Amino acid sequence: MATSDNLPKADGDNDKVNGIEANTEITNTKQVDSEETKATSDTDNPKEPSVTDKSSNTKSSTDEAQDELDKSVAEDSEDTSSLERHDIEKKDYHSMSKEDLVNELRTLVKNEKVQAIKEHVDEIKAEFNAKFNEEEEQKKEDFLADGGDIIDFHYSTPLKKEFNSVYFDYKEKRNAYYKNLKRDLQENLNKRLEIIEELKGLLNIDENINSTYNHFKEIQEKWRNAGPIPRDRYNTIWNTYHHHVENFYDFLHLNREFRDLDFKHNLEQKLKIIERATELAQETDVNRAFRELQSLHKMWKEDLGPVAKEYREPIWEKFSELTKKIHENRQRYFKELDKIYEVNLEKKLQIIDQIIKVGSDHPKNHNGWQQKIKEIEALREQFFKAGKVPLSANEETWSKFKTAVRDFNRSKNAFYKNLKKEQFENLNKKMELVQIAEDNKDSEDFKVTTPLMKKIQADWKKIGHVPRKDSDKIWKRFKAACNAYFDRLHAVKDEANKEEVEALEKKQEHLKELQDFTLSGDNKADLKTIKEHISTWKTIGRVPYRKKQIEEEFNKTLDGLFKQLDVNKKEAELIKYDNKLNELSNHSDDRVLNNERSFIRKKIDEVKGEIRQLENNLQFFKNTDDSNPLVKEVHNNIAKHKEQLEVWKAKLKKIKQL
């Protein structure tokens, strides 16, 4: 800690202060030893008057805190927008989409001062480029998977061009601002150097002390309004200025009244700064506290002069301790933030593991891969929303993420490359079906062509996907050919259906007549009339397929009449069967008649089998009287089956005659 031995003396040699000539400009901060004129001085930059143990070469935490403050104050010295910069909300750019990032950048460039948005723009640019590069990498993989040559690959999007355009506007505005700023900073530097020279000259002016003091106050006011200077000259210029301010205060020992008034004013103001710093040490918003602390240090350094020597060390020590405490609060905040970042890192590593796990399972079909793509996309969104990670792990984490996604994309692309090969083969198969359909669409042989056209339609459904660019085209050709054929077929059928509808109407009328028919009592005459009805029914023709139940209604009506006439069952069955044979003989498909013939033969064999089984069962009752109920039942069953057998044989005989 500086001692009173190296403080400016109230009385003594006016030409030297601690061995430094009064008119010497300081160019090296190490030249100044006094508490007030050290590199950052008690009144200016509270760095040198530290509480370090001078026996140790290691900086204390107070020194570290002060170093950070010095650097920040120097940076702000040429930035008049620091307050505006901190008032701009810094959003979670990491979780934003590319579209949102472009919109956010445009809003900042349009509405905020260009010198206040650098940190925001840098983060937005980094996030946009990271997302775009990932997308570009995926497109490159797709391009190479399709057989492209890497030398021919180029990828851009309208959104990328839009981002570049907005970012170019930002750089243009920024460059123009800093070009003007550089000029202004140099002009301000020249002004301050002139002010220093003017200050140095006060000691050699031959005028009364009141005029000199007023002149000094004018110089101080000009200094305060001189504007920012380059940060690399900041400390040197301020130290030089305050060195000569100290010399002037030593000069004021000729009139202590002026000096004591200044000392008192400066002490009051510095105590207010300490009071505010005390409040900031309790502030929960550590970043805001640190920013205001910068302002306090700048005020301490730039706006206020020295105080009486008995107060210099105590108030500086108090301010230094508060600075240290605020700095420690901020360090604790960042440590807590680091813990959050570590949690985020763990989340992101887990998400990467999930991506690897999902990507290691390779589906066998398109739908399976589409589901996988959705899962990977959802995991990507989770990754971007998981928050920031420690800076030291950021690059490695991002690399792992890109590798996991890229490996999935390569597997996906390999599948679709093979799928395209299959689709080309499917295209050839479907083109063959298209050719068959087009070759047969005008065929008049409906009996042969209809099954063929139905078959190729079924085959078409069994063939897998074809390339998308060909899908609609070949489907339209195939559909057009099939429709052309079936439209003609339906037109022919519709014409035939007209006859069937007319036949239905006639049969409905005839059925009504038969249902209303009343037997006369003359069995022969009535049977003849019924047979005439059956003959008429045969001549009417076929009805629509969905209305064929009218045949059953006709047969039921006949059964009722035959029952009333007491016609035996065989004769009634054969009379009705004549009606069915008529329907079968009129059918266009010969297979229908053959199926009926086979059905009757099958029924004959079944009935014969039943009779044999029943006759075998009688062997169990050979010693039993025929009056036994069980024996009677077997005999009755045999008789019924033989009667049925005769009917079936008669039907077979009739069908053979067709």
Question: 248-291, pLDDT tens digit by residue?
Answer: 877 766 567 777 888 888 899 999 999 999 999 998 888 888 88
- Residues 265, 366 share a domain: yes
Share of the chain above pLDDT 90, in %: 13
Q: What is the pLDDT of residue 21?
A: 31
- Residues 439, 383 share a domain: no
Q: CA distances (Å), 187 to each of 182, 190, 223, in order?
A: 9, 5, 13
For residue 487, is it within any domain? yes
- Residues 281, 377 share a domain: yes
- Residues 355, 427 share a domain: no
Question: How many angstroms separate the CA atoms of 136 and 359, rounded?
Answer: 19
Question: pLDDT at residue 215 above 70?
Answer: yes
The number of folded domains in the chain is 3
Instruction: Please say whether the beta carbons of 46 and 66 come within 8 A.
Output: yes
Name the residue with higher pLDDT: 619 or 198: 198
- Residues 381, 273 share a domain: yes
DSSP conformation letters of 239-256: HHHHHHHHHHHHHGGG-H
Residue 574: pLDDT band (50, 70, 90) is confident
- Residues 459, 365 share a domain: no
For residue 163, is it within any domain? no
Name the residue with higher pLDDT: 625 or 319: 319
Question: How many angstroms separate the CA atoms of 396 and 398, rounded?
Answer: 5
Comparing CA positions, the residue from 579, 492, 512, 509 lying closest to residue 542 is 579
Lowest mean pLDDT among 457-471, 540-554, 558-572: 558-572
**Average pLDDT for the chain:** 78
Residue type, 537: W
Residue at a domain's end among 494, 524, 550: 494
- Residues 465, 377 share a domain: no
End-to-end CA distance of the chain: 135
For residue 203, is it within any domain? no
For residue 112, is it within any domain? no
> Where are the extended beta strands (E) located within 339-487?
none
Residue 629: pLDDT band (50, 70, 90) is confident
For residue 336, is it within any domain? yes
Most confident of 316-330, 410-424, 518-532, 643-657: 316-330
In tens, the pLDDT along 391-420 reads 888 889 988 988 898 888 888 888 877 877
User: Residue 391: helix, strand or coil by DSSP?
Assistant: helix
Most confident of 82-86, 369-373, 543-547: 369-373
Residue 575: pLDDT band (50, 70, 90) is confident
- Residues 319, 277 share a domain: yes
User: Residue 17: helix, strand or coil by DSSP?
Assistant: strand
Residue 124, CA atoms < 13 Å, CB-side half-sphere: 25
Residues 6+ apart with CB under 8 A from 192: 223, 226, 229, 237, 241
Q: What is the pLDDT of residue 1?
A: 31
Give the position of tokens 């669409």: 441
Residues 6+ apart with CB under 8 A from 632: 626
Angle CA 584–452–446, to nearest 5: 50
DSSP conformation letters of 260-323: HHHHHHHHHHHHHHHHHHHHHTT-S-HHHHHHHHHHHHHHHHHT-----HHHHHHHHHHHHHHH
Tell me which H or E stretch contains 468: helix 468-516
For residue 138, is it within any domain? no
For residues 379-384, average pLDDT: 88
- Residues 432, 377 share a domain: no
For residue 522, is it within any domain? no
Instruction: Please say whether the beta carbons of 386 and 427 come within 8 A.
Output: no
Q: Domain span at residue 579?
A: 573-657
For residue 35, is it within any domain? no
- Residues 373, 466 share a domain: no
Rg of the chain on CA atoms, in Å = 54
Helix axes 61-76, 309-360, angle to 10 degrees: 90
